[in-house]
C-alpha cells in the first residue's frame, strides 16, 4: 500500500469528451503538450517514491534479521536461565530438606540434652536430700554422743569421788587395824607380866580369855575389812581401766565425727562442682551449624557424665563407709551403755561395801572403847579379889550384851543396804525409778513421733512438688478440682462470721440495755413497794453475765488473732514454696482482688518486670505488665493470654526466656539474682 503522500501526488485525469480509436493524431504527440509534461513529472515522482520505499523495505528487512538474531539470543538466554532456575530450585529444596533434617537432629539433641540435664538435676536433688539426711543423722548422733559423754563424765567424776572416799576410809581402817594390833600386843604383855609375877589367875582367867577371844575376833574383823579394802582396790583398778576404755571410745567417736565432717565437706564440694557444671551446661545452646561448639558441648557433657558417675561411685563408697561407721558407733554406744551399767552396778556394790566398812569401823570403835575401859579397870583394880571378879563378870556380861546389840544393828543395817534403803527412802527410790522408766518411754514415743512426722513431711513435700508441677503445667479438672477464689478464702469467711456474730451480739446487747432501762424506770416509778419483782434480773447476775460475755469476746478475739497468725504463717510458707518451685513471687493487695507477680530471674526496680492481675468475682479479669522487660513480651502475651486464655503458659515462657537471659548474661553482670 503506497504512502498517502504518493497517493496525493498522483494526478486524476478528467474524462475526455471525445473518444479516438486507432492511432492518435500527430497533434496529440506534441512534446509541448502540458498533459504530457504532467505525466512525466508524476512518473518521476512515482519512481522516487518507489526507490524510497525499496530502501525502507531493505532497512526494515535488515532490522528484522537483527531482531530475529536478538530473539534467538534471548531464547537461548531464557533457556539457560530456566536451567539455572531449575538448578537453584533443586538446590533450594535440597537445602530446605537438609535444614529440616538438621533442625530435627538439633531438636532431638536438645531434647536429649534437656532430659540429661533434668536427670542430672534430679540426681543433684537426690544427692542434696541425702546430704541433708546425713546432716540430720550426724546431728542426732552428735546429740546422742554429747549426752552419752556428759553422762559418762558425770559417772566418772562420781566414781573418782567415791574412789577418793574409799581410799580415805581404807587408810583410816588401816590405822584402826594398827591400833587394834597394838592393843592386842599390850594385852599380851600385860598377861605375860602377870604370869611372871606369880599372880593367881584362878578367878580372872575367864575374863582374860574372853577378852583375848574378843580381841582375836576383832582382829579377824579387821583382817576381813582389810581384804574388803583390797577387793575395793582391785575394783578401783578395773574402774580406772574402764574409764580409759571409755576415753578411747570417746576419742574414736571424735575421730569418726571428724572423718564424717570431712566427708560431708567433700560431698558439698562435689555437689557445688556438679551445680557449676550443670549451670555451664545449661548456659548456652548452639543454634547454628557449628561443629566446634557441638564438639565442645559433647565433650563437656561427657565430662559431666564422667564426673557424675565418679560422684555417684564416691557417694556409694561414702554411704558404705557411713554405714560401717554407724554400725561401729552403734556398737560403741551399746558397749558404752553396757560398761556404764556395769560400772553403775559395781559402784552400787562399792557403796554398799563402803557402808558396811563404815558400820564395821563404828562398831570397832565402840568395841575398842569397851576394851580400853575393861583394861583400865583391870589395871586399876587389885588381883585376886572376889569383888573385882564379880565386877569383871558384870562388865563382861554388859560387854556381851552391847556386842550382841551392835551385831544385830549391823545386820539390820546390812539388810537395809541390800534392799536399797541405805541412803534414800524406798518410796522416793521407787518414784524415781518409775519416773525414769516413764521418761524413757516418752523419749521412745517422741522418737517414733519424730520419725512419723519426718516421713509425713517428706511425703507432703513430694505431693506439694507434684501439685506445683501440675499447676505450673496448667492442668486443671473442674470436675474433681476446685480453684480457690481470692475473696472466698478462710480468713474472709471467718471475718464474715465474726462480723455477723458481732452484729447480732450488739443488737441483742442494745435490746437488753433498752429492756434494762425500761425495768429501771418501772422500778423507780414503783418505788420501794416491791410488788412487781417477778421477771426481774439482779444487778449481780447482770454484771456476772456481762463479765462472762466480755471474757468470751476476749477469748474469741484471741483465737481469731491466733488463727490469723497461723493463716499468715501458712500463707507465707505457701508463697515461699511457690516462689522456690515456680520462680514467681506472689503478693496479694489489700483489696484481695489484685495480684502482683515478680519473677526471681528478673532485675529489681523499673528495669525488671512486674505483672498485675485483677480478678472479678473469682475469675480472671485483666493483666498489666510494667517494667522495661514488658515491651519485649507483648507478642507472647497476645499469643498466650489473648488468643489462648492460658496464663500458666505465658508465665512458663516468660520464666524460660528470663532464665536463659540471666544465665547467659550472669558472667557479664546482666542481672543479679536474689
At residue 117, does pLDDT exceed 50? yes
Instruction: Specify the pLDDT at position 539.
Output: 65
Yes or no: say if 175 and 182 are a contact pair by the CB < 8 Å rule.
no
Is the CA virtual torsion 582, 585, 590, 593 positive or negative? negative
> Shortest CA distance to 501 belongs to which of 568, 565, 560?
560
3-state secondary structure 88-146: HHHHHHHHHHHHHHHHHHHHHHHHHHHHHHHHHHHHHHHHHHHHHHHHHHHHHHHHHHH
Instruction: Specify the pLDDT at position 389.
Output: 58
At residue 316, does pLDDT exceed 60? yes
Output the DSSP codes for 247-298: HHHHHHHHHHHHHHHHHHHHHHHHHHHHHHHHHHHTT----S--HHHHHHHH
Instruction: Specify the pLDDT at position 505.
Output: 84
Which backbone phi and psi does 58 adopt, to 5 degrees?
-65, -40
Q: What's the whole-number mean pLDDT along residues 120-139?
A: 79
CB atoms within 10 A of CB 9: 15
Q: What's the whole-number mean pLDDT along residues 314-324?
A: 72
Q: What's the whole-number mean pLDDT along residues 599-617?
A: 72
Instruction: Specify the pLDDT at position 128.
Output: 77
Instruction: Report the share of the chain in percent with pLDDT over 90.
Output: 0
Terminal CA-to-CA distance of the chain, rounded, Å?
A: 97
Instruction: Specify the pLDDT at position 620.
Output: 58
At residue 514, does pLDDT exceed 50? yes
Instruction: Specify the pLDDT at position 602.
Output: 77
- Band (pLDDT 50/70/90 cuts) for residue 672 is very low
> Shortest CA distance to 225 belongs to which of 347, 362, 105, 339?
362
Instruction: Specify the pLDDT at position 7.
Output: 41
Q: Is 646 left (phi over 0), alpha (psi -120 to 50) or beta?
A: beta
What is the pairing mode between strands 610-616 and 594-599? Answer: antiparallel
Instruction: Specify the pLDDT at position 20.
Output: 39
Q: What's the whole-number mean pLDDT along residues 583-593?
A: 76
14-28, 85-99, 249-263, 527-541: which is most confident:
85-99
Question: Which comes out higher in pLDDT, residue 57 or 460?
Answer: 57
Which backbone phi and psi does 627 adopt, to 5 degrees?
115, 165
Instruction: Specify the pLDDT at position 231.
Output: 74
Instruction: Specify the pLDDT at position 388.
Output: 56
Instruction: Specify the pLDDT at position 646.
Output: 85
Contacts of 231 (CB under 8 A, 6+ apart): 353
At residue 525, does pLDDT exceed 70? yes
Which tens digit of pLDDT belongs to each residue from 397-447? 676 676 667 666 666 666 665 555 544 556 666 777 787 777 777 777 877
CB atoms within 10 A of CB 239: 22
- Band (pLDDT 50/70/90 cuts) for residue 204 is very low
Question: Which comes out higher in pLDDT, residue 282 or 413?
Answer: 413
Which tens digit of pLDDT belongs to each residue from 23-41? 444 444 444 566 667 777 8
Q: How far is CA 51 from the centre of its chain?
A: 113
Contacts of 29 (CB under 8 A, 6+ apart): none
At residue 97, does pLDDT exceed 80? yes
Question: Which comes out higher in pLDDT, residue 547 or 246?
Answer: 547
Q: Is 157 exposed, middle or buried (0-12, 13-18, 19+ CB in 10 A)?
A: exposed
- Band (pLDDT 50/70/90 cuts) for residue 16 is very low
- Band (pLDDT 50/70/90 cuts) for residue 19 is very low
Which tens digit of pLDDT belongs to each residue from 334-360? 766 776 677 667 667 767 766 776 776
Which backbone phi and psi does 474 adopt, to 5 degrees?
85, 10
CA dihedral in degrees (604, 605, 610, 616; nearest 10)? 130
Q: What's the whole-number mean pLDDT along residues 187-212?
A: 60
Instruction: Specify the pLDDT at position 387.
Output: 59
Question: Which comes out higher in pLDDT, residue 475 or 238?
Answer: 238
Which tens digit of pLDDT belongs to each residue from 153-169? 777 777 777 777 777 77
Instruction: Specify the pLDDT at position 407.
Output: 63
Tell me the C-alpha distance between 614 and 622, whole Å.
5
Amino acid at each position: 500500500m503506497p504512502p498517502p503522500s504518493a497517493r496525493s501526488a498522483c494526478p486524476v485525469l478528467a474524462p475526455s469528451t471525445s473518444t479516438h480509436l486507432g492511432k492518435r493524431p500527430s497533434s496529440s504527440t506534441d512534446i509541448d503538450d502540458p498533459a504530457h509534461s504532467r505525466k512525466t513529472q508524476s512518473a518521476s515522482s512515482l519512481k522516487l517514491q518507489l526507490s524510497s520505499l525499496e530502501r525502507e523495505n531493505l532497512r526494515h528487512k535488515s532490522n528484522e534479521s537483527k531482531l530475529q538474531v536478538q530473539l534467538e539470543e534471548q531464547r537461548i538466554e531464557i533457556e539457560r536461565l530456566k536451567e539455572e532456575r531449575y538448578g537453584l530450585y533443586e538446590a533450594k529444596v535440597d537445602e530446605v530438606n537438609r535444614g529440616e533434617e538438621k533442625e530435627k537432629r538439633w531438636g532431638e539433641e536438645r531434647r536429649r540434652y534437656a532430659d540429661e540435664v533434668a536427670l542430672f538435676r534430679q540426681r543433684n536433688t537426690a544427692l542434696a536430700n541425702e546430704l541433708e539426711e546425713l546432716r540430720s543423722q550426724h546431728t542426732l548422733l552428735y546429740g546422742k554422743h554429747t549426752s552419752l559423754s556428759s553422762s559418762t563424765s558425770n559417772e566418772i567424776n562420781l566414781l573418782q569421788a567415791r574412789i577418793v572416799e574409799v581410799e580415805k576410809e581404807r587408810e583410816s581402817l588401816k590405822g584402826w587395824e594398827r591400833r587394834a594390833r597394838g592393843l592386842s600386843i599390850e594385852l599380851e604383855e600385860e598377861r605375860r607380866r602377870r604370869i611372871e609375877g606369880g599372880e593367881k589367875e584362878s578367878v580372872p582367867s575367864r575374863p582374860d580369855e574372853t577378852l583375848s577371844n574378843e580381841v582375836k575376833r576383832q582382829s579377824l574383823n579387821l583382817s576381813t575389812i582389810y581384804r574388803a579394802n583390797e577387793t575395793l582396790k582391785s575394783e578401783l583398778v578395773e574402774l580406772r581401766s574402764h574409764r580409759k576404755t571409755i576415753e578411747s571410745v570417746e576419742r574414736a567417736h571424735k575421730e569418726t565425727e571428724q572423718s564424717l565432717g570431712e566427708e560431708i565437706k567433700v560431698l558439698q564440694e562435689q555437689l557445688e562442682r556438679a551445680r557449676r557444671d550443670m549451670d555451664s551446661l545449661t548456659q548456652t545452646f548452639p543454634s547454628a551449624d557449628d561443629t566446634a561448639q557441638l564438639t565442645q558441648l559433647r565433650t563437656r557433657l561427657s565430662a559431666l557424665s564422667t564426673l557424675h558417675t565418679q560422684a555417684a561411685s564416691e557417694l556409694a563408697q561414702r554411704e558404705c563407709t557411713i554405714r560401717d561407721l554407724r554400725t561401729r558407733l552403734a556398737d560403741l554406744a551399746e558397749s558404752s551403755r553396757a560398761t556404764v551399767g556395769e560400772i553403775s552396778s559395781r559402784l552400787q556394790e562399792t557403796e554398799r561395801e563402803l557402808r558396811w566398812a563404815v558400820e564395821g569401823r563404828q562398831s570397832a570403835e565402840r568395841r575398842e572403847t569397851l576394851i580400853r575401859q575393861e583394861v583400865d579397870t583391870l589395871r586399876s583394880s587389885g588381883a585376886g579379889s572376889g569383888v573385882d571378879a564379880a565386877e569383871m563378870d558384870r562388865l563382861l556380861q554388859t560387854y556381851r550384851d552391847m556386842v550382841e546389840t551392835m551385831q544385830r544393828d549391823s545386820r539390820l543395817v546390812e539388810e537395809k543396804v541390800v534392799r536399797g534403803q541405805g541412803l534414800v527412802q524406798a518410796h522416793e527410790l521407787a518414784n524415781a525409778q518409775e519416773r525414769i522408766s516413764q521418761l524413757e518411754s516418752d523419749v521412745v514415743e517422741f522418737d517414733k513421733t519424730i520419725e512419723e512426722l519426718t516421713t509425713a513431711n517428706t511425703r507432703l513435700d513430694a505431693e506439694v512438688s507434684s501439685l506445683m508441677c501440675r499447676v505450673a503445667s496448667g492442668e486443671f479438672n473442674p470436675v474433681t478440682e476446685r480453684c480457690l477464689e481470692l475473696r472466698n478464702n478462710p480468713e474472709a469467711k471467718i471475718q464474715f462470721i465474726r462480723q455477723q456474730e458481732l452484729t447480732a451480739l450488739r443488737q441483742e446487747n442494745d435490746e437488753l440495755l433498752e429492756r434494762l432501762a425500761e425495768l429501771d424506770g418501772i422500778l423507780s416509778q414503783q418505788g420501794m413497794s416491791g410488788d412487781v419483782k417477778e421477771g426481774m434480773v439482779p444487778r449481780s447476775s447482770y454484771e456476772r453475765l456481762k463479765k462472762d460475755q466480755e471474757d468470751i469476746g476476749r477469748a474469741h478475739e484471741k483465737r481469731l488473732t491466733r488463727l490469723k497468725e497461723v493463716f499468715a504463717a501458712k500463707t507465707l510458707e505457701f508463697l515461699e514454696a511457690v516462689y522456690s518451685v515456680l520462680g514467681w513471687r506472689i503478693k496479694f493487695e489489700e483489696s484481695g482482688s489484685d495480684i502482683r507477680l515478680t519473677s526471681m530471674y528478673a532485675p529489681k526496680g523499673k528495669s525488671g518486670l512486674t505483672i498485675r492481675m485483677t480478678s472479678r468475682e473469682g475469675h480472671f479479669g485483666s493483666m498489666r505488665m510494667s517494667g522495661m522487660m514488658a515491651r519485649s513480651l507483648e507478642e507472647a502475651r497476645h499469643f498466650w493470654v489473648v488468643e489462648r486464655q492460658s496464663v500458666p503458659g505465658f508465665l512458663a515462657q516468660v520464666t524460660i526466656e528470663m532464665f536463659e537471659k540471666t544465665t547467659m548474661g550472669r558472667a557479664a553482670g546482666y542481672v543479679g539474682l536474689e
